[in-house]
Amino acid sequence: MSAILYELRASYAFVERNLNLVKRYMGWEIVWFAYSLASALSITYIGAAMERISGADVNTDYLVLYLLIGTLVWRFLSILFNDISEMIQWERWEGTIEYTLMAPIHRLTHMVGQTLFAILHGALFTLGIAVIIILFFDVSLEGANVLGALLVLLAGSFSFIGLGIMASVLPLLFPERGAQMTNVVQALLLLFSGVYYPVEVLPGWMEAIARVSPATYVLVNIRAALLQGEPTRSLLPIIVLLSLAGVILTFVGLWVFRQAELYAKRTGRLKRNG
Partner 1 sequence: MEAVGYVCPTAFYIEEDIYTGRLTMTPVKPDAAVLVEHISKTFHQGEAGSFIGRLRGQHPAREVQALRDVSFQVARGEIFGILGPNGSGKSTLIRVLSTLIIPDTGRALVFGHDVVKEDMVVKRLINRVSVEASFFKKLSPIENLMYGARLYGLTGKEARERILDILRRLGLRESSFDQPMEEMSRGMQQKVAIARAFLTSPILLLLDEPTTGLDPRSKKEVQQLILSLRDQHDATIILCTHDMEEAESLCDRIAILDEGRIVALDTPDGLKRLVGGPSVSMEDVFLALTGKHLDEEGEAVAPTQPA
Other beta carbons within 10 angstroms of residue 239's beta carbon come to 19
In the bound state with partner 1, the residue whose beta carbon lies nearer, of 16 and 197, is 16
The nearer residue to partner 1, 223 or 269, going by C-beta atoms, is: 269
Query: In whole angstroms, how close is the CB of 104 to partner 1 at the nearest point?
Result: 4
C-beta closer to partner 1: residue 150 or 262: 262
CB of 90 to partner 1, least distance (A): 9
| Residue 272 beta carbon to partner 1: minimum distance, rounded to whole angstroms | 7
Which residue number, 175 or 253, has a Cβ lying nearer to partner 1? 175
User: CB of 263 within 8 A of CB of 173?
Assistant: yes
Site residues for partner 1 per CB under 8 A: 6, 9-10, 12-13, 16-17, 20-21, 24-25, 94-96, 98-106, 173-174, 262-263, 265-268, 270-272
Of 113 and 214, CB closest to partner 1: 113
Q: How far is the CB of 28 from partner 1 (least distance, A)?
A: 10
Q: How far apart are CA 66 and CA 114, in angstroms?
A: 31
Smallest distance from partner 1 to CB 247, Å: 24
